[in-house]
Amino acid sequence: MNAIIEKINRALAEAETRAAAATDKAAIEQLRIDYLGRNGLFPALSKEMGSVPAEERKETGRAFNAGRTRIQELIDGAMERSGSTAADSVTERPDLTLPGRRRMTGHKHPITMVADECVAVFRRMGFIVADGPEIEDVFHNFDALNTPQDHPSRDEQDTFYFPDGRILRTQTSPVQIRVMESHEPPVRIVAPGRVFRRDTPDATHGMNFHQIEGLYIDRNVSMADLKSVLQTFATEMFGSGVKIRLRPHFFPFTEPSVEYDFSCHMCGGKGCPVCKNSGYIEIAGAGMVDPAVLRNVGYDPEVWSGYAFGMGIERLAMLRYRIPDLRYLYENDVRFLEQF
């Protein structure tokens, strides 16, 4: 028996013991590395094979092959006992054919998306965007808009007052005043933004919601201009199938005043909780700017006239995306937001 065969026999005896004791994957893998791995015993022995005398070569080769096979059997047996299979170690390698993991990216909130869309539509009609503060004074929010001192909207039940007398704006209409105070006519603006009211939240009301205000002042502006701009807006946002409805109404800052409805997209006009069974959703208040408002900002009502409108952005979003309840827009549940 030559030195190589002796080494193989010693290795086999040792490997039997180690394999019997190896219960975890790491120990089994170490066994493989020590005997069959690139720097393990058997590859080393195969290099020594060259120095074996010719007459011993056959026997040594047979012992070498039998030894290597036996080691593999010991490894397989240990794997089986430990509950892992050869296939396990294969699946642990990354599978390059799997599709990549998509990184979640955020996107604009549906309210912002609809507001942006409204602005884009009005921009195409020549309106520019104006902005105003959310913390307003009573003058801009009520007085200059011709709101009587005893108007219910001024009540603390409806309006959030700060101790210093300022308020959270209840509408985007004060932006009209701010724009006219600082610009000579003609003006043509839209002002999207957040407004605040002490409403009890339900499917179509929130304490804090969004409006987009529009104002156009020029010479000889008429109600027909108002109707056409609102019709164009409805068509651009919801397609030519949308039905619109104007109803006479009252606002302190417009005369005449109207409320403006879109047919309900949730139920197609049949009646559902969103439209409170009426088939229509109130979208906008609008009208011809009251001469008193023009005088408050120093515009001559004999020369200038105009229209104004204000719409609820949440209502538009609900119609656009068929959202049955306004409150989904504020809960920030990602399962809801992901859908947009």
Q: Which residues bind ligand DAH (CB under 6 A)?
A: 171, 173, 213, 251, 254, 285-287, 308-310
Which of 87, 224 has the CB closer to ligand DAH? 224
Which of 122, 251 has the CB closer to ligand DAH? 251
Hey, what are 78's tokens? 């240990």
H or E segment and range at residue 218: strand 208-218
Which of 217, 308 has the CB closer to ligand DAH? 308
Give me the residues paired with residue 249 across strands.
257
Which of 74, 212 has the CB closer to ligand DAH? 212
Which of 125, 337 has the CB closer to ligand DAH? 125
Q: State the alpha helices, DSSP H only, in 83-173.
A: 86-91, 110-124, 138-141
Q: How far is the CB of 135 from ligand DAH (least distance, A)?
A: 17
CB atoms within 10 A of CB 172: 26
Q: How far is the CB of 335 from ligand DAH (least distance, A)?
A: 32
Q: How far is the CB of 266 from ligand DAH (least distance, A)?
A: 22
In contact, 141 and 171? CB cutoff 8 Å:
yes
Return the exposure string of 18-32: e unless at least 16 CB atoms fall within 10 Å of the residue's CB, then b. bbeebeebeebbebb
3-state helix, strand, coil in the chain (%, to 5): 45, 20, 35
Which of 63, 230 has the CB closer to ligand DAH? 230
Which of 51, 200 has the CB closer to ligand DAH? 200
Q: How far is the CB of 176 from ligand DAH (least distance, A)?
A: 7
CB atoms within 10 A of CB 214: 27
Q: Is 52 helix (H, G, I), strand (E, B) or coil?
A: coil
Query: Residue 14 to residues 28, 97, 181: CA-CA distances in angstroms?
Result: 14, 41, 97
Whole-angstrom distance, CA of residue 235 vs CA of residue 104? 34
Q: How far is the CB of 99 from ligand DAH (least distance, A)?
A: 49
Which of 299, 309 has the CB closer to ligand DAH? 309
Greatest Cα pair distance in the chain: 125
Q: How far is the CB of 177 from ligand DAH (least distance, A)?
A: 11
Strand 254-263: give its sheet, edge to edge: 128-129, 187-196, 208-218, 305-312, 280-289, 254-263, 244-251
Q: How far is the CB of 203 from ligand DAH (least distance, A)?
A: 18
Q: How far is the CB of 218 from ligand DAH (least distance, A)?
A: 16
Give me the residues paired with residue 167 across strands.
136, 161
H or E segment and range at residue 166: none
Which of 31, 177 has the CB closer to ligand DAH? 177
Q: How far is the CB of 238 from ligand DAH (least distance, A)?
A: 20
Q: Is 79 helix (H, G, I), strand (E, B) or coil?
A: helix
Residue with tokens 């086999």: 12
In contact, 304 and 331? CB cutoff 8 Å:
no
